[in-house]
Structure formats: C-alpha cells, structure tokens
Amino acid sequence: MTTRDAPGQRSETVRRANLSAIVRQVHVRGPLSRSELGVLTGLTRSAIRGLSGDLVAGGLVREVPSRPAGTPGRPSPLVQPDPHGASVLAIEVNVDSLAVAHVGLGGTVHRLVRIERPRSHLSVDAIVADLASAAEPIIAPVRDDPTLVGVGVAVAGIVRRSDGLVRHAPNLGWREVPLGERLADALQTSASISVANEADLGGLAEHRRGAAATTDMLLYVAGEVGVGGNVVMDGVAMSGAAGYAGEVGHMVVNPTGLPCGCGSIGCWETEIGERSLLLRAGRDPGEGRDAVAAVIDAARAGEASALAAMDHVGTWLGIGLAGLVNVFNPTAIVLGGLFERIHPFVIGRVEAILDDRALPATRELVSVLPGALGADAPVLGAAELALEPLLADPASYLRAPRAESVSA
Amino acid sequence: MTTRDAPGQRSETVRRANLSAIVRQVHVRGPLSRSELGVLTGLTRSAIRGLSGDLVAGGLVREVPSRPAGTPGRPSPLVQPDPHGASVLAIEVNVDSLAVAHVGLGGTVHRLVRIERPRSHLSVDAIVADLASAAEPIIAPVRDDPTLVGVGVAVAGIVRRSDGLVRHAPNLGWREVPLGERLADALQTSASISVANEADLGGLAEHRRGAAATTDMLLYVAGEVGVGGNVVMDGVAMSGAAGYAGEVGHMVVNPTGLPCGCGSIGCWETEIGERSLLLRAGRDPGEGRDAVAAVIDAARAGEASALAAMDHVGTWLGIGLAGLVNVFNPTAIVLGGLFERIHPFVIGRVEAILDDRALPATRELVSVLPGALGADAPVLGAAELALEPLLADPASYLRAPRAESVSA
C-alpha cells in the first residue's frame, strides 16, 4: 500500500519537488505548454510560470513561443528541456559490443558510437581500455563542463546499485569487478558514475521513450547471450534490496533441463537464450551474433531447422511469460534484444501459450510488444540512469544565479 | 525510478499528507513520543504538536503521559492510536473456514470469530448467509456508528480490486462473483466494502505486524489448497494492473507435470499445495485440513511417507523460491498458511536448494521465515485493507469539529 516510513513534508521541500515534477515531464514528454504542465502536475499556472522561470534562469529548460494552433486565446509558451543545459555520458558493456553516447536532457542523443568486439577479449582491462579510447573524443569537450551531470553504465551482469560493483557477469567471465571505479580512472573524470544491469536499463529506456511509453505496468524481457528483465509497477522500476531484481533469466522453468552458467539447472535462459536458439538450429551455440543473424535469415527463408528453433524458443518464452504474467499482472510485455529481433517468428507461439497457460483474468489485460529502441535500449537507459539525480532534484543543478522569485 | 506523472504538490495537500504520516506511524508502531515521530516523519516538533492536536480533537489518536524513562528532561507525551476512534469489519472467505473480526485503529482486535465449514457447502449463497449470521453480533453495535470506517474482505480467489469482483476462485468453484455487493446486502451496511485476495492480505498483515515487520523488501508465499503470494518492494505492495498480481502459485515450474485447477500444467501449486502434500503422503488429496494435520503429526513422529511428502514439497518450494528470489531480490521470504505449519519439516530442503539454485548475490541477502500470525493473517490483512482510506487521508475521518490551528 504505502511505505512504513512515509515521511512528512516540510514546505521548503515542496518547491524542489515541484521543480522536479516539471523537469521530469518535459524530459520525458518533450515541449509542453504551461497549461499542459498544469494538467500533468496539478500545479497552478502561476506556480508553473514561476518555477519555469527559475529553470530557464538556471539553464535547464527554454521557453519558446508555441506555434499557432488555429484556436483563439492567449498563446502559452512551450516549456522544453535544453539538451545542452545538462548532459550525461552513457556507456554499455556487452558481450559482443561496447557503446558510448553523449545524451542531453530531454533524451537528445548528441553522439553515439558502437564498437563490435570479439568474444575472445572480455578481460576487464581490455574492455576498460577500449571504452576509454572510444569515449575520449566524446568526453574530451565536456570533461570539465559543469553541464556534464554524470556517467551511466549498462553492463551485462548483476550489479550492486549502491557502489556499481559488478558481482557476477557470467557471460563476460567477471566476478566482483568495481567497474565504476575502473571507469572513473580510465575516463579521467570526477563526474559521478552509476552502474546498473543492462536489462534493467533497457527496460527503463523502453518505458520512458520506447514501446512501453504509454504504460506504467510493464514487464521487459531482453535476451542476448543471457536473459534479463525489468519490471515497472505503477511507474516505479523494481530494483530489489540491492539492485539485483529482474533476473528473470534465472527463474527455473525446467528443473531437469540443461545446466546454466549461473550454476543452477533449467533456468529460463537455458531454453530461450542465444545458445539455445543456435543449438536448436543445428549450430555451434558459441558462434554468437552473426550466427543468430544467419538463423533469422534462414527462418525468413522458411528453413525447417531455423523454424524449429524459433518454435522451441517461442514455446519456452511463452511458458516463462505465462508465469510472470500471473506473478506481475502487467499491461504490457516488451521483448528486447534478441527477442525483439526474432519477434515475428515467435509471437504466434508466445500468444498461444499465454492463452493456454496464463490465468484468464491477467491474460486478457496484457499485450506482447517488440521493443522500439533496438540494440541501443541499454545505452539509452544508462543515460536515463545518469540523469536521474538531476530529474529528482533539479534545484541542485541550476547553473546561473537563481532568480529571486520563490514559487511553490 | 519514479512515476512518469510525478505530481506537483500544492501546499494545501501538505497538511493532509502530514496527518497521514503521523497516523500511519502510530497505527503500525504503536505509541510514539513526539520526538520519535519527528525522527520518523522528518517533521518539526512544533508541527507534530499541532497535527497531533488536530488528530486528538478529531478522535483518532490520544496523547498520554509517557512513563518516566529514568532520564532527565521534559517528558514528551506519547501519541497513540485510539482503537475505538475508528474501526473496521474484517472478513475472510476460505475453503475450510470463514472468519469475521472487528478491528480498531492500531490493529487492536476487538472481536474475532472463525467458523470451520465443510467443503461440500461452498456456494456463494451458503457462504454469504453463514457470514451474515456470524457477523451480525459483531456488526450490530457499530452498524450506524460513524467510527466504522469500512469492511475488508479476504477471499481465496483472483479479485479485481476496483470493484471487488471475484473473477475466479477455483478452489471455491466461483467465477465472476460480485462478492462486495453480495456482502453489502447481506450485512445491511452502507460502509465501503473492499475485497482482495487472501494471500495479498496475509502478506500485508505479516508486513505490518508479523514476521516481516522489519523489512520493506518482502516475498510472502502462502499455501492452503491453493498457493498465493504477495510482494512488497520498498514498502509498497505490488498489486499489478487490476489487482491480480502475486499469483505465484500459477508460475510454471514443471511444464510436463500435473494439471492445475487453473487450466495450465505444472503450476507451482501442483507441486507444493495441500493436494500434493496429501498425495505424496499416500492420502486422498481431497481430504483437507484434518488430513494435513495428521500428516504433520506423522512427520513429527518420523513416519517415512510423511517425511517423503515433506521432502517433495520442500524441494519444489525451494525450486520456485530460487526463481522468485532471483526475480525480486527480497530480504525476507515469509511462509504463510500451510507453509507456516510445515516450516520445521521443509526449511532444511528449502535452504539447501536456495544455496544450489539462487544467484549467490541475491541468495546471501535473503532469510526464510515462518509467518508469525498463523491462520488469522488474511483476516488481519483485510482489516488493514479496510483501514487504508483512513490511513491515506485521516483528515477526511476527523469527527469532532476540527481545531483551528493549521500546522504544516
């Protein structure tokens, strides 16, 4: 229902909370008129005028004349985020590739580079060095810029949120890697670095700007070599006690099945991950991304073994999703990564198995959608993670001397 | 991270929120000094004095002198909930029994009756009639009393929260039963009636006042004939899009296993529910609660078939919990109902399987505990459900003319 320790509210915190409400709205939705902001936040127009003025003076938003809408009445200026008023560096560490991006408030991607890498070079040293080289041209111009709010990192592993320690990344072969510290040294930055699981961040990005932007009850399931997920309930992403929540790939679905990289047996990942798809298609399960692309091409061409592999993955995807639908009662399931790419070949099986196995009351409320952000979902989510302190308390990030008007 | 539609805050809403914070604290924790309330809510002592005064005048709390603590300094009065200042009727509808209770603010149980019933009389008409008879002596004295805040109902089925429609209760044989409306007629009350799933409410009660009162990251799993659950993340109970969340009993753990009452195959319930325990102990799976008690006695006496049944249920309980621990990253798992009663006989297997199958990072953070509230957890949770509107906005429930002092 609500938190045990529901805090009281002091009036001095209200203005900060209201600034946050406005910045969040324009960050996620883009330009909004003051009256739209009034509807979305419940604040009065005069309060919004004052708060927006503070944000303009502080360099975080701009007010621009609204385009004539063809209706009479006083035009209300549009409030929009300033993508150069605050920005972050976003990084993704995955098994086949690395990505680095510079992203502004409002989600504007100023630059994004992705490097494909061989699976034989997954040491922490090699990856950190490659990231530092790739990031240097992007970070150099903003390294000492006060508009750089922080650095967000998405990694294919289990991450302790409090300090960015990568506890275990089975598909990278990492254990207990202080990735945040390593990157702070390599990037030569004093900006705050936040690290989180790639699927958590992919789900965050799909929720903010992708396939799930219209729902606050979301189950995101993403596969590559591993399978992860993120659950958003009432608009809040579930992180668990230490940030490890959402490891849906390690839900047991076939207790007498195949051994999993995590040490258990019959985890969902062993039936629906990349290795299973390749194996069922008659390929070497370690062949990786190019082989997956070949299986997808073969399925498109109607090749029987590829279609059988899709059927296997679709069946087990459905079995696991049926359980998760019953556990979470979401309105949308978004399939990311591998599952976004094979969506056309598995969705029929998935829907049929949900019909057979999910409770009718929950089944009838849920849609299954492919992700909308492609392979960049995790790095875009890393940008959202790095922006979060600013979104939560923009008052701490106002740059110019603050206007004297106090609005609440 | 946070809601898309994070609302702004008007100062007129702050006082109501602060009243709520204080009432919630004393409702859950019992008597607190003003300085303790200050620590818990972040409000100043003078704000608390004013707000508490309003609540005293409105009949919801009392201020009593604190007992001398042996330390010098000005004594601060204790603020405590008034169990007669607001109360609710709480009802439980289960397969083997019905319960009715009258519960006051602060969780004081004024009266509680439980009726054991034969499984052959599970029609809606029969159950509603029996409930009305059992409730009459309890509700009669408070039926027209303004201190009666509402009625909460826990039912062993899947419930739409918005209107209390029981969508499906397989073990009662019910579909699409408007239980709230039926009870409003039978109880002759105009009080607001809220209906929810029994496991959701059992988990709520264990979180507020039971085994999980010290954690805000809780997985509650309860069994009787069926198996249900509740998940509390950051202090917030997960209800899903329509209130159906938490149906962990219908997570598929053994896809080639036994047919489930829900229509699927190999749901967790088929391996760990009452029927499975009885079957594995060589008994008729329909024999019910007395037979379960006999199996527990037999296990205590060391009888091999009873211990084998416990081992089976413990093994599958562990397999399902391992997946849920990976999905939720809770700090506590509370086992309720049947699992509370058989806890001593299954906990060894459960812990061993969690060691083998849960991700180490999540495993090391979680404790498995038996429930502390016994069979009454759901009906006590129903009381919490009925009190929720008052806890969320006590200002609407102040009875005496409100004091003029405005505090925020």
pLDDT at position A280 is 97
**Residue A1 with chain B: CB contacts under 8 Å:** 204, 236-237, 384, 388, 391
Query: Is the domain of B168 the same as that of B284?
Result: no
How much is the pLDDT for A65? 87
Confidence of residue B11 (pLDDT cuts 50, 70, 90): low
Q: Are B393 and B12 in contact (CB under 8 A)?
A: no
Mean pLDDT of all residues in B185-190: 92
**Predicted confidence (pLDDT) per residue in B295-327, tens digit:** 999 999 999 999 999 999 999 999 999 999 999
Asked if residue A123 and residue A135 are part of one domain, the reply reads yes
pLDDT for A5: 45
Q: What is the pLDDT of residues A20-39, one digit of tens each?
A: 999 999 999 999 999 999 99
Range with lowest mean pLDDT among A110-114, B76-80, B392-396? B76-80
Q: What is the pLDDT of residues A61-92, one digit of tens each?
A: 999 987 665 666 666 789 999 999 999 999 99
**Residues B245 and B164 sit within 8 Å (Cβ to Cβ):** no
Smallest CA-to-CA distance from A405 within A20, A38, A52, A54 is with: A54
Does residue A399 fall inside a structural domain?
no
Last residue of a domain, one of B82, B101, B119: B82
Do residues A217 and A329 lie in contact, with contact meaning Cβ atoms separated by under 8 Å? yes
Residues of A in contact with B204 (CB under 8 A): 1
Spell out the alpha helix ranges (H) of B223-376.
Answer: 268-272, 274-280, 289-300, 304-328, 338-341, 343-357, 360-363
Judgement on whether residues A323 and A382 belong to the same structural domain of the protein? no
Residue B2 pLDDT greater than 60, yes or no: no
Task: Extract the runs of DSSP E, i.e. beta strands, from B199-275.
Answer: 217-223, 227-233, 236-237
Q: Is the pLDDT of residue A2 over 60?
A: no
Residue B180 belongs to domain spanning: 87-201+377-391
| Tens of pLDDT, residues B263-298 | 999 999 999 999 999 999 999 998 888 999 999 999
**B252, B262, B269, B367: best mutation site toward chain A, by most A Cβ within 10 Å?**
B252
Residue A287's pLDDT is 87
What's the pLDDT band for B1 if we cut at 50, 70, 90? very low
Residues A229 and A361 in one domain: yes
- Residue B368 carries which side chain, given as an amino acid letter? V
Please report the pLDDT score of residue B6 as a whole number: 47
- Residue B109 and residue B62 share a domain: no
**Mean pLDDT, residues A246-252 taken together:** 96
Are residues A255 and A385 located together in one domain of the fold? no
Q: Do B1 and A237 touch (CB under 8 A)?
A: yes
Looking at the structure, do residues A304 and A194 belong to the same domain, yes or no?
no
Give CA–CA dist B199/B245, Å, rounded. 10
For residue B122, tell me if it sits in a domain. yes
Selecting from A247, A329, A360 the residue whose C-beta is nearest the C-beta of B240 gives A329
Answer whether residue B403 shows pLDDT above 70.
no
* pLDDT at position B112: 97
Q: How far apart are CA A296 and CA A302, in angstroms?
A: 10
pTM: 0.90
| Interface touch B8/A24, C-beta < 8 Å | no
Share above pLDDT 90 across residues of chain A, in percent, rounded to a whole number? 81
pLDDT at B389: 96
Does residue A406 lie within any of the structural domains?
no
**Residues of B whose CB is below 8 A from A18:** 8-9
pLDDT in tens, A266-298: 999 999 999 999 999 999 998 888 999 999 999
At residue B165, does pLDDT exceed 50?
A: yes
pLDDT at B170: 87
Sheet with A78-81, edge to edge strand ranges? A32-33, A78-81, A61-64
Q: Under an 8 A CB cutoff, do A6 and B21 touch? A: yes
pLDDT band at A214 (very low <50, low <70, confident <90, very high): confident
Same domain, B119 and B61: no
Which chain A residues have a beta carbon less than 8 Å from that of B19?
A: none
* A167 vs B contacts (CB less than 8 Å): 360-361
Q: Is there a contact between B251 and A247 if contact means CB atoms under 8 Å apart?
A: no
Element (H, E) at B54: helix B45-57
| A407 has pLDDT over 90 | no
Rounded to a whole number of angstroms, the distance from the CA of B240 to the nearest CA of chain A is 5
Total of domains in chain A: 3
Whole-number mean pLDDT of chain A?
91
Query: Quick check: is B396 in a domain?
Result: no
| Confidence at residue B71, expressed as pLDDT on a 0 to 100 scale | 60
Residue B129: give its domain's CATH number: 3.30.420.40
Map chain A to HEC letters: CCCCCCCCCCHHHHHHHHHHHHHHHHHHHCCEEHHHHHHHHCCCHHHHHHHHHHHHHCCCEEEECCCCCCCCCCCCCEEEECCCCCEEEEEEECCCEEEEEEEECCCCEEEEEEEECCCCCCCHHHHHHHHHHHHHHHHHHHCCCCCEEEEEEEECCEEECCCCEEEEECCCCEEEEEHHHHHHHHHCCCCCEEEEEHHHHHHHHHHHHCCCCCCCEEEEEEECCCEEEEEEECCEECCCCCCCCCCHHHCECCCCCCECCCCCECEHHHHHCHHHHHHHCCCCCCCCHHHHHHHHHHHHCCCHHHHHHHHHHHHHHHHHHHHHHHHHCCCEEEEEEHHHHCHHHHHHHHHHHHHHHCCHHHHCCCEEEECCCHHHHHHHHHHHHHHHHHHHCHHHHCCCCCCCCCCC
Q: Cα–Cα distance between A328 and A119 in angstroms, integer?
A: 35
Query: Two tokens at B121?
Result: 């009389």
Q: What is the CATH number of the domain that holds A45?
A: 1.10.10.10
With respect to residue B4, please indicate whether it lies within any of the assigned structural domains.
Answer: no
Instruction: Sort strands B148-155 and B87-93 into parallel, antiparallel or unpaired.
Output: parallel
What average pLDDT does the segment A108-119 reach? 93
Average pLDDT, integer, range A392-398 = 95
Nearest CA in chain A to B7: A41
Q: Among the three residues A67, A84, A101, which one is the final residue of a domain in this structure? A: A84
User: Is there a single domain that holds both residue A139 and residue A188?
Assistant: yes
Q: Rounded mean pLDDT of B227-231?
A: 95
Q: Are residues A347 and A382 in the same domain?
A: no
Contact call for residues A147 and A84 (beta carbons, < 8 A)? yes
How close A18 comes to chain B (CA, Å)?
5
- Specify the range with the lowest mean pLDDT, choosing from A66-70, A201-205, B147-151, B208-212: A66-70
Domain membership flag for residue B406: no
For residue B365, how many other CB atoms are within 10 A of its CB?
A: 18
d(CA A281, CA B12): 63
- Tokens found for residue A215: 């729902």
In-domain check, residue A368: yes
Q: In what order do the strands lie in the sheet with A87-93?
A: A109-116, A97-104, A87-93, A148-155, A193-197
In chain B, what percentage of residues exceed pLDDT 90? 81
Q: Do A98 and A114 sit in the same domain of this protein?
A: yes
> Chain B partners of A327 at a C-beta cutoff of 8 Å?
229, 231, 245-248, 251, 324, 327
pLDDT confidence of A12, banded at 50, 70, 90? low
User: Which residue in B224, B221, B194, A304 sits closest to B232, CA to CA?
Assistant: B221
The residue that leads in pLDDT, A143 or A221, is A221
Contact A218, A332 (CB under 8 A): yes
Q: Is residue A403 part of a domain?
A: no
Query: Which of B61, B82, B103 corresponds to the end of one domain?
Result: B82
Mean pLDDT check: name the lowest of A226-230, B64-68, B219-223, B284-288.
B64-68
Contact at CB, B244 and A329, closer than 8 angstroms: yes
Quick one: pLDDT at residue A236? 87
Q: Residue A54: what pLDDT? A: 94
- Rounded Cα–Cα distance for residues A333 and A354 (Å): 12
For testing contact with chain A, the best of B247, B316, B363 (most A CBs within 10 A) = B247
Q: Is the pLDDT of residue B407 over 60?
A: no
- What is the structure's pLDDT at A224? 86
The whole-number pLDDT of residue B12 equals: 64
- The sign of the CA dihedral A217, A241, A192, A373 is negative
- B159 and B30 belong to one structural domain: no
